[in-house]
Structure 1
Amino acid sequence: MAVIRSVLWKNLNCYHVYGANTNVGKTIVSTAICRSLRRKFPDSKIWYLKPVSTGPLVEADDRHVGNFVTGIQADCLYQFNEPVSPHIAAKDSIDNAPLDSELLESIYSKLSQYADDAPGWALVETAGGVHSPGPSGTSQADLFRPLRLPTILVGDSNLGGISSSISAFESLHVRGYDTSLVLLFANDKYKNHEYLVEYFSKKNVTALSIPAPPEWRPDGGDRQRMAEYYNKLSESAAMEQALSVLKTKHDSRIDNLASMASRASNVIWYPFSQHTSVSASTITTIDSAYGDHFQTLTTPPENSQGPLLNSTFDGSASWWTQGLGHGNPELSLAASYAAGRFGHVMFAGAVHEPALTLAESLLANMRNSRLSRVFYSDNGSTGIEVAVKMALRASAVRNGWDTSVKDLEVIGLKGSYHGDTIGAMDCSEPSVYNKKVTWHSGRGYWFEYPTVQMANGTWTVEIPEALQPELGSSSQYASVNEIFNLSGRQSEPLAHRYRTYIKNVITKLVKDDKRKFGALILEPVVLGAGGMILVDPLFQKLLVDVVRESRDIFEPGRSHAPTNTDWTGLPVIFDEVFTGLYRLGRFSSASFIGAEPDISVHAKLLTGGLIPLCATLASESIFESFLSPEKSDALLHGHSYTAHAVGCTVAEASINSMLTMERNQVWDDFKAQWQDSTGPEIWSMWSRPFVEKLSHDPAVTGVIGLGSVLGITLKDSAGSGYTSSISQDLQSRLVQGKGREWNIHSRSLGNVIYLMSSLTSTKQNIREIEEFVGRAIR
C-alpha cells in the first residue's frame, strides 16, 4: 500500500521550499541556503531535490544549484522539457505524468536514501507558487500535504508581493503546514521586506530579508557575478540567522514530540481509560493526520537512523467521526471561511445562512416525511438528551400527565449506548459504562433481541437462548441482502413470532406492571458501543410497528385519529449518531429497517470529524407539544455554541461531499462484490471474500461488514462483553505493524475488535489492510 509518512528524521534537517509566486527566487534562495550550509557545516551532507522541473535541461534548477555549490547532491525526479506549468508539460510529454501517489512515493523514497546517508540537510523545492499545479493538476499545497515537511517560504519582493506572500502563507497555514522561515529579497523601491518582516514577527514566524541577486547583463559575466553573490551571501548575518532558526526548529520539534507522552501522563485525564494502565509508554503521540492515517511518533531500532514518524491507519475513524479523511482541505477551507465571516454568533431568536442551509439540506436528504424541524446542539450525547426531552414531553402532553412526573421510562434494546451525559446514560440499562455513576438510575425496559453475523461462511440470524422458547432457533440465510429483504421476510413465521413476543412484553409492562413509557429509542441496525452488534433489522422494524400500533396500550385516552406524520403509541427516537450519514452505506440508517422515526439524532460524520456539532430532527407533532402561551412550556434547552456557524458550514460541506460521492458512483466497485438478487443493496467497503474468510477463522465467533464498519467477535473462553481482554493481543499485533512502514491503531469493545474506513478510502488501501489483519489475527 502506498502509505506516505510525514517526513522526519533526527539526523536529516529537511525543509520544503515554497514560493509566494513564480519567479520570486526560490532556486536562488535554495542555492544560497545550500552554500551557507556547506560553509557552516563542512562535515554534513547536503542534498537538493527538485521533484518536478519544466523547461530545457540546461536551465534546470538542480543544475543551477549543483553549479554554484560544490560537494552537494542535486537531484530532479521528473523533468519535462516544455517551459510551462507542470500539469501542461506532463500532459504534452511522451512520458506518462506521475500520479500524485507516485510522486509522493518518489520524494519519500529519495529522502529516505538521504537519511540513510545522513547526518545532513535536505531542501525540497517546489515549482512555481504555492497553488501552482503539479503534474496531475492538483495544487501543490494539497499535493505535498501528506509529507508535511516544515516549510521555508520565499516571499515576493515585487509590486503586489506583500499580498501574495501573506496569501501564500495563509494557504499553507490553513492546510496544516508549519512555516519555519520566510526569506525574501530586499527591494528598496517597494520595501516589501520591511512590512513582511514585521508582519510575520507578529505570527511568531521569523522573516528575513537578503540582498537581491545581481541583474543579468549581456557581457557574459553572469556566472562570476552569481558566484560572488552566493559567496558573500553565505557569510552574511542574515543567512547565519536563517540556519540557526532552521536548526533550532528541527531540534525543538523532535524534543517536543519525544516529551509529549511523558508530559501528558502527568496532566491529562484520558476518557475511557483506567489510569492504572496508562503511562508514557502506552500513550500514542500523534504529530498530525492526513487521509486515513495518523502520523505517530515511533522509536527507531537502536543505532538506527530510521524515521521518527510512522503512518498509523486510524482504525476507529477517530471514534467514528472520520468520513472524508483527516486534513480534508475542503472542510478546512469551509471552517476558515465561516470563522472569518462569523466567528460565533448567538442563535436564540436569530438565524444565519449556514444553520438554515444545513437544516434544509438535512430534512430534504433524510427523505422522512415525518421530520420537519431541526434543533442544534454540540454533540451526540446532548443531542440524545434533547431528543428524550422532546419525546417525553410529547407523551406527557398527549396523555394528560403531569409533566413533572419522575416515573416516565423509555423502551430500548439491551446493550444500547446513547452517550455519557447523565440523561443519555439513563436511556441505557446498567452496564460497565454507567453502573458506577452515582446518579445513574436506568429509566427503562430493554428488550433482548436476535442478532446477525457471518459465522463459518454463513449469514445467520441468531436467537438468544433465553428467547428461543418463544422465537425458535437461529436461522441461516443465503446472503446478508436476504436478511435485509424485509418485505420478503414479513411472511416468515419468524415475523409473526417477533410480533407476538413484542406485543406480549409491552402489554405486561403497561397493563400488569403499571409502568409508564414516554419513548422508544433505538440505534438503527448496529449497536455501536454495545459491541458492534448487528441487530436483526426485521426485529427492529416490527418493534417500531408494534409500538406504533399499540395506541390502546400507550395512549388509552386518545380520541382523534392520527395523521400520516403524527406519532402514535410512543414517539420513536432513532439514535443515528454512529450509524447515520453513510457510515453503513446510506444517508440515513433508518432506511435499512423501513421505518421513519419521529425524532432522529445526527452527529459524528455530520462534520466529517472536524467540528463538534449535533442535529436533532423532529416531526411537527413533536414540535407542537411545546407550543403554549407559557414560556415554561418551551423546550428550554440550549448551548452557548448552538448552531455554531463554523460547524454548520463544515457540516454542509461534508454532506455535499458525501452526496456528490454517491452521485458520482464512487463506491460502485465496493458495491459490486456484495450485490446479488436476494434483497436490497447492502454493501461494505470490506470485501466479501475477506469477511467470509475471517468468519472461518478458529479464533473468530462471527463477523459483520456493513458500509465502512468491520466488526470481529473473538472467541473468549472466559466470557464475552466489554470487560473481556481477549482482543488486546490482536490490537498489539496490529499496532506493531510487523516491520511494515505503517501500522493500525484500533479500539476494542471487550471481545469485539472493530475497524472503520473513511468514505474516501481506496480499494487498494482497504485490501492491503485486510491482508494485514488476516495475518495478524492468526
Structure 2
Amino acid sequence: MPIPSPQALAGSVLWRSLRVYQVYGANTEIGKTVFSTVLSKAARRHWPREKTAFLKPVSTGPLDEADDRHVRKFASEVAHETLHQFDLAVSPHIAARVSSQQTPSDDILLSSIHKFAAHRASLGPGWLFVETAGGVHSPGPSGSTQADMYAPLRLPVVLIGDSRLGGISTTISAFESLKIRGYDVETVLLFKEEKYQNHAYLTEYFGERHGIPVKTAPEPPTRAADAGSDANNMLRYYEDASASSPIADALAHLDTRHKQRISRLESMSATAHKTIWYPFTQQKHLSPDKITVIDSASGDNFQTLVPTKPDTDNTTALLRPSFDGSASWWTQGLGHGNPALTLAAAYAAGRYGHVMFAEAVHEPALALAETLLAGMGNARLRRVFYSDNGSTGAEVAVKMALRAARLRYGWGADEKVGVLGLRGSYHGDTIGAMDCAEPCVFNEKVEWYEGKGAWLDYPTVQCRAGRWVVESPAEMGGVAGGSREVSFDSLSDVFDVEAREARGEGRVYERVITDTLKRLQSEGRKFGALMLEPVVLGAGGMLLVDPLYQRTLVNVVRKSAHLFADGYDTASQATTDDNSEWTGLPVIFDEVFTGLYRLGRFSAGSLLGVDADISVHAKLLTGGLVPLCATLASESIFRAFESDDKSDALLHGHSYTAHAVGCQVALQSVTELRRMEVSGEWDWAMSAAQRESLQQLPSASIQNLAPGASVWSVWHPEFVDWLSRHAHVGGVWALGSVLAIHMSGADGAAGYKSDAARGLQASLLQAAGEDGNLHSRVLGNVLYIMAGQKTKEESVRRVERLVRRALEDVVE
C-alpha cells in the first residue's frame, strides 16, 4: 500500500522578501559564528525596519555554549533558533549516534530549514543567515557531508575564510568543493591577520579569477580572564565590526545579488522566447508563460520558478520542486547533481581535458568498455565503438551491419539495402538514423529523409481493467486461436517467453513473420540488418511490444538467410565455438532508451532471451550528466572491416570520440548501477519470490534470472491496477522505472498528434501541495513518467498520489 509522507517536500529557498544566505566555513574554529553575528547585527543596523534571523540547523555541545546563545547574547535584536541540539561536543554524526533523540534524516532536516525560512519570509522583508557546523565537508547527523546534504536548498553562500597558517589552501579547497556541487559563493569574509596576510592573497585570487569580493573584519579581542570584561569587550567588538565599511559593503553586495538573481529568473522565459530555438516544439504556439524556468536540480527534482506578481506578492516562495517525470528525456538515473558523477567529470577534466582517441587509449575509455562488455552478459559482443549520442551511435550500428551483410551476400555498392524493423520504431534525429524509421511525424517533412527499410506490425501489451492484454493489430491476424487479444494474470506471465514458446504461442508469430519476409523477397527487397528497440518503442508512443514476438522475429531472421540472399549456401558460413557468428541478418538492439536498468535489467534485450550482434547504449550510460554513446559489436561484425585497404575501415568518428570526461562519468554511472543491483537497493520494488530467487544466485544479478522471473516495477501494482480501470485511461503498463499511461481521447484519437494526454500533463504541472508538482512530457495520447534508479519509494508514492489527484481533474 502507498506509504505516508513524513514531511512536506522541500524546494530551493528563495523569496522576494527574504535574503537567505548560508554561512560555510573553510575549516572549524575560524569564526563562522562571529561573522554570522556581525552580519546579523549589521543587517539590523543598515535595514532597521526589516527583521533579521539566525538559524543553526545542527549544533553540538552544551546548550549554554550553543551558537544561537552567542547570537542572543551579543545581538539580542536578532531572532535566533537551533533546530537540532546534541549535547556531546563532537561531530554531529557521532553526537546523533549516541544521543537518545531520533536522528533526523537529510530530508527532514531540509524540510525543517525550508519551513523556518518560509515563516521568516511571511513576516515581511528581512535577512536570514543559516550557519553550518564545522567545515564544508563536516558530516551532518545522518553522516552525509554538509556540502552534499544542504545542496538541494541551493542557498547562496557566504564563505568564511581561514586566516591561520595554511588557511589559503583550506579556503580555496572549500570554495572548490562548494563550486563543484553547484553552490554560488557570493562573498568571502575572513579576519584580517597581519602575520600571514591570507586576506591579501585571497582578495586577489577570488577577485581576479572568480569575480568574488573578499572582505575582512578585525580579529576579536583576546579572551579576558574576567567573564564580565570579556562580554563587554565582545559587545564593543560587535558594535564596531557591524558598523564597519567592509561589512556594510558585503551586505550591500549580498542585497544586490539577491535582487539580480530574482530579476534574471523572472526575465529568462521572455528572453528565451526571443532567443532560443526549442527542440520538438511548435514555437508559433509557444508563449513565455509556457516556458519552465529551471533554477537548479537535485535528486529527482527540478527547482522551477513559480509565476508571481512582483508588485503584490512578496512573501510567496519563488521556487518549487518539480519531479522530473521524463527523467530529462530519459537520461537521468542517478539523481541530478550527483556528487560522485560530478567528481568523476571533474577528475577526468582535470587529468585529461579531451585527448585525441584514434589509435590511442586512456583508462576511462578502456575501463568503461570492459565494464560494459562484462555487464551485458552477451557472449557475442566483443568490441566497443564510442560516439557522441544515441542517434549517431545508431548510425554507427547500421554502418557496421550493412557492411557485414553486403560482404557476406556479395551485393554491389550500388544496390539498395535497407533495414528491417517495427512500425513506430525511431532511432534518432540525424538523417541517417531517421532513414531507419518508417515515415512518421518526426521525419515526414524533413527534406532529405528517405526511409530505407520495411517495418512490420506487431502485438502490444497493456494492462486494462486489471488484466494484462496482448493485442495484435488487425493486419496481423489473431494472436492465438484466431483471437486478437489474449490476457494474462501478470506481466511476468507475459515475459515468461520460454514457457509461452513451449506452449506453441509463438507459432502464429513465426508464420506471419515468415510470410512477410517471403513477400518482401518476392518484391526484390534487400536488407542488411534487423534493427529493434527491445521491449519498448520509445518515441513511437511508449509501446510495450509482446516480448515473445520480438524473440520470435530474431530467431526467424537468424535461420532465414535464404530469404535475404538467393542461393546463399549456409553450409559455407563460418562457425564459432561461442555461437557469436551472425546469421541471416546482423541483429541490432537499440537500447539507448531501454538499456542499463531503465526496464529493470542491465540489458533490456535480455528480457527477450536472445542476444544481439550489435547493441547501442546512451542516455543512462552517463547517469544524465554528459553526452556519450557506446555501440557494442561482435567479433564477426568487426572482422567485416578488416582489410589491407584503409578505405575499408569503419571511417566514422567525432572530434570528441571517447572523450575522457564522458567515459569516466559513464564508468562511475555503470559501476554504481551494478552496485545498486547487487546490494539489493531495488528489493523494495520486487516481489518476495523475486527477492528469494536473487538471493539464490551467486552474483545476485537480475540479469541472470529468466526473463519472466525478473519483471519488476517501482510503480505499485495496486496503483497500476487502479489506473487500468480509470474511465479516461485506455491502457497502462509499468516496467522497471517506467510508467506509461495511454489516455482515451473523446474522439478515440491516438498517436503523436493527439492531445488526449495534455489535460493530465497540465494538471500535474499545476499541482500544489506538500507533494509538489510534476514536470512531464507527452507522446500524443501517452503520458509517461520515469523514476530514476535512485528514486526512493517515498518519492514514487508521492508521484502516484499526484497522478491520482490529477486524473480526478481531467475533463474529456
TM exceeding 0.5: yes
CA distance in 2, matches of 1:428, 1:562: 32
CA distance in 2, matches of 1:777, 1:470: 32
Q: 1:566 to 1:197 in 2, by over 3 A?
A: same
CA distance in 2, matches of 1:277, 1:424: 28
Amino acid at match of 1:695: S
Amino acid at match of 1:204: G
* 1:357 aligned residue: 367
Q: Quote how far apart the aligned CAs of 1:675 are.
A: 5.4
* 1:84 aligned residue: 90
The Cα offsets for residues 585-626 of structure 1, whole Å up to 9 and x where unpaired, read as 000001100110000000000000101000000000000000
The Cα offsets for residues 378-432 of structure 1, whole Å up to 9 and x where unpaired, read as 1000000000000000011111222x32510100000001000000000000000
* 1:4 aligned residue: 10
The Cα offsets for residues 623-670 of structure 1, whole Å up to 9 and x where unpaired, read as 000000101000000000000100000000001111111111011110
* 1:254 aligned residue: 262
* 1:344 aligned residue: 354
**Secondary structure class of the residue paired with 1:538:** helix
1:178 aligns with 2:184: yes
* 2:236 aligned residue: 228
Q: Quote how far apart the aligned CAs of 1:173 are.
A: 0.4
Q: Quote how far apart the aligned CAs of 1:303 are.
A: 3.8
CA distance in 1, matches of 2:512, 2:66: 79
Q: Is the Cα contact below 8 Å between 2:737 and 2:786 reproduced in 1? A: yes
Amino acid at match of 1:765: S
2:592 to 564, 574, 577: 577
Q: Trace 1:417-428 onto structure 2 (pairs within 5 A).
A: 417-428=426-437
* 2:686 aligned residue: 671
Q: Trace 1:226-375 onto structure 2 (pairs within 5 A).
A: 226-300=234-308, 303=313, 305-375=315-385
1:647 aligns with 2:644: no
Q: Is the Cα contact below 8 Å between 2:535 and 2:545 reproduced in 1? A: yes
CA distance in 2, matches of 1:528, 1:673: 30
* 2:697 aligned residue: none
The Cα offsets for residues 662-689 of structure 1, whole Å up to 9 and x where unpaired, read as 1110111101279599942211011100
Q: Is the Cα contact below 8 Å between 1:197 and 1:209 reproduced in 2? A: no
Q: 1:685 to 1:47 in 2, by over 3 A?
A: same
1:746 to 776, 779, 791: 776
2:739 to 690, 701, 710: 710
Q: Is the Cα contact below 8 Å between 2:9 and 2:770 reproduced in 1? A: no
CA distance in 2, matches of 1:685, 1:370: 31
Q: 1:738 to 1:240 in 2, by over 3 A?
A: closer
Q: Is the Cα contact below 8 Å between 1:161 and 1:192 reproduced in 2? A: yes
Q: Quote how far apart the aligned CAs of 1:725 are.
A: 0.6
CA distance in 2, matches of 1:3, 1:80: 25
* 2:210 aligned residue: 203
* 2:700 aligned residue: none
CA distance in 2, matches of 1:438, 1:734: 37
* 2:115 aligned residue: 109
**Secondary structure class of the residue paired with 1:737:** coil
1:128 aligns with 2:123: no
Please say which of residues 415-424 and 546-555 is displaced more in the overlay.
546-555
Q: Trace 1:131-142 onto structure 2 (pairs within 5 A).
A: 131-142=137-148
Q: Is the Cα contact below 8 Å between 2:438 and 2:453 reproduced in 1? A: yes
Q: Is the Cα contact below 8 Å between 2:472 and 2:478 reproduced in 1? A: no
Q: Is the Cα contact below 8 Å between 2:386 and 2:629 reproduced in 1? A: yes
Q: Quote how far apart the aligned CAs of 1:719 are.
A: 1.5
Amino acid at match of 1:750: G
1:776 to 771, 786, 806: 806
* 2:79 aligned residue: 73
1:613 aligns with 2:628: yes
* 1:560 aligned residue: 573
**Secondary structure class of the residue paired with 1:680:** helix
**Secondary structure class of the residue paired with 1:289:** strand
Please say which of residues 759-768 and 567-576 is displaced more in the overlay.
759-768
The Cα offsets for residues 63-89 of structure 1, whole Å up to 9 and x where unpaired, read as 111111132111111111111111111
CA distance in 1, matches of 2:175, 2:587: 50
Amino acid at match of 1:384: A
**Secondary structure class of the residue paired with 1:663:** helix
Amino acid at match of 2:797: R
* 2:59 aligned residue: 53
1:380 to 384, 390, 405: 390
* 1:695 aligned residue: 724
Q: Quote how far apart the aligned CAs of 1:462 are.
A: 0.4
* 1:685 aligned residue: 714
**Secondary structure class of the residue paired with 2:419:** strand
1:212 aligns with 2:219: yes
**Runs of 5+ unmatched residues, structure 1:** none
**Secondary structure class of the residue paired with 1:393:** helix
CA distance in 2, matches of 1:261, 1:135: 39
CA distance in 2, matches of 1:104, 1:305: 20
**Secondary structure class of the residue paired with 1:503:** helix
Amino acid at match of 1:241: D
Q: Quote how far apart the aligned CAs of 1:491 are.
A: 2.7
Q: Quote how far apart the aligned CAs of 1:493 are.
A: 3.9
Please say which of residues 354-363 and 740-749 is displaced more in the overlay.
740-749
* 1:726 aligned residue: 756
Q: 1:335 to 1:599 in 2, by over 3 A?
A: same
Please report the TM-score for the alignment, with normalisation by the length of structure 2.
Answer: 0.94
1:627 aligns with 2:626: no
Please report the TM-score for the alignment, with normalisation by the length of structure 1.
Answer: 0.98
Q: Is the Cα contact below 8 Å between 1:673 and 1:688 reproduced in 2? A: no
Q: Is the Cα contact below 8 Å between 1:673 and 1:687 reproduced in 2? A: no
- RMSD, aligned CA: 1.4
2:31 to 2, 22, 25: 25
Q: 1:470 to 1:758 in 2, by over 3 A?
A: closer
Q: Is the Cα contact below 8 Å between 1:182 and 1:207 reproduced in 2? A: yes
* 2:556 aligned residue: 546
CA distance in 1, matches of 2:144, 2:86: 17
* 2:41 aligned residue: 35
The Cα offsets for residues 219-240 of structure 1, whole Å up to 9 and x where unpaired, read as 4411111111111112211011
Q: Is the Cα contact below 8 Å between 1:581 and 1:587 reproduced in 2? A: yes
Q: Is the Cα contact below 8 Å between 2:614 and 2:634 reproduced in 1? A: yes
CA distance in 1, matches of 2:155, 2:212: 16
1:497 aligns with 2:523: no
Amino acid at match of 1:701: G
CA distance in 2, matches of 1:235, 1:11: 23
Q: Quote how far apart the aligned CAs of 1:750 are.
A: 0.4
**Secondary structure class of the residue paired with 2:366:** helix
Q: Is the Cα contact below 8 Å between 1:5 and 1:309 reproduced in 2? A: yes
Please say which of residues 731-740 and 379-388 is displaced more in the overlay.
731-740
Q: Quote how far apart the aligned CAs of 1:299 are.
A: 2.1
CA distance in 1, matches of 2:592, 2:352: 26
1:430 aligns with 2:439: yes
- Aligned residue pairs total 776
Q: Is the Cα contact below 8 Å between 2:458 and 2:472 reproduced in 1? A: yes
CA distance in 2, matches of 1:674, 1:774: 29
CA distance in 2, matches of 1:673, 1:610: 34
CA distance in 1, matches of 2:748, 2:605: 36
CA distance in 1, matches of 2:182, 2:322: 18
Amino acid at match of 1:342: Y
1:479 aligns with 2:490: yes
The Cα offsets for residues 746-775 of structure 1, whole Å up to 9 and x where unpaired, read as 110000110000011111111121111012
Q: Trace 1:499-518 onto structure 2 (pairs within 5 A).
A: 499-510=510-521, 512-518=522-528
Q: Quote how far apart the aligned CAs of 1:469 are.
A: 5.7
Q: Is the Cα contact below 8 Å between 2:627 and 2:662 reproduced in 1? A: yes
Q: 1:675 to 1:452 in 2, by over 3 A?
A: farther
* 2:704 aligned residue: none
Q: Quote how far apart the aligned CAs of 1:353 are.
A: 0.3
Please say which of residues 764-773 and 378-387 is displaced more in the overlay.
764-773
Q: Is the Cα contact below 8 Å between 2:24 and 2:158 reproduced in 1? A: yes
CA distance in 1, matches of 2:14, 2:190: 26
Q: Is the Cα contact below 8 Å between 2:479 and 2:486 reproduced in 1? A: no
Q: Is the Cα contact below 8 Å between 2:391 and 2:429 reproduced in 1? A: yes
CA distance in 1, matches of 2:797, 2:479: 42
Q: Quote how far apart the aligned CAs of 1:740 are.
A: 4.6
